Chains A and B, each alone.
Chain A
Amino acid sequence: EVQLVESGGGLVQPGGSLRLSCAASGFTFSSYSMNWVRQAPGKGLEWVSYISSSSSAIYYADSVKGRFTISRDNAKNSLYLQMNSLRDEDTAVYYCARGLQYPDYWGQGTLVTVSS
């Protein structure tokens, strides 16, 4: 069974940093591209970042470019999102999601709240 479990969310002040993790199991993690997708409270879905299976291709939404860094450790079956210079508008549930073209499996998400 495919499982994606996010962690690392919490309350952070504007301008602060946070690192999210996603632990994958039930599939060959090193063979799959991965993504982060977020959802602000009561709002729709927003794709944040993509990383290919070998980390050779990485993309970001303009809204996070230069502030967020996606990475992965295939030996640990883990995906990460380093978030710096956080803003109020980054408040959201962050989902890790598997897929090159469309996310076919999603984690349950971790809530990031940016507030003073």
Chain B
Amino acid sequence: EAQVTQNPRYLITVTGKKLTVTCSQNMNHEYMSWYRQDPGLGLRQIYYSMNVEVTDKGDVPEGYKVSRKEKRNFPLILESPSPNQTSLYFCASSLAGQGNEQFFGPGTRLTVL
């Protein structure tokens, strides 16, 4: 089944404790991205990747890191999480090129205390 998976689905952590949210897709998509969703603010893109070893900042990259060492995986790293990073996070993938349908993961609800 074609899908985007994220882990963990739920995470409660404390300020400053490094964490990684994994994202994996099995559709051989070149393009992957991370979004955060907050009430009243819609979906905002954090980082995106056009292919292996090619990443770039989205609208709200501060406090986040990503890597794209393999085509299927695109982990989101929070080196020193803070409470303002409490949010619902989505990973997405698509074929290269604008306008292609993005496939979203189930989401990761992160709480930073």
A and B interact:
no
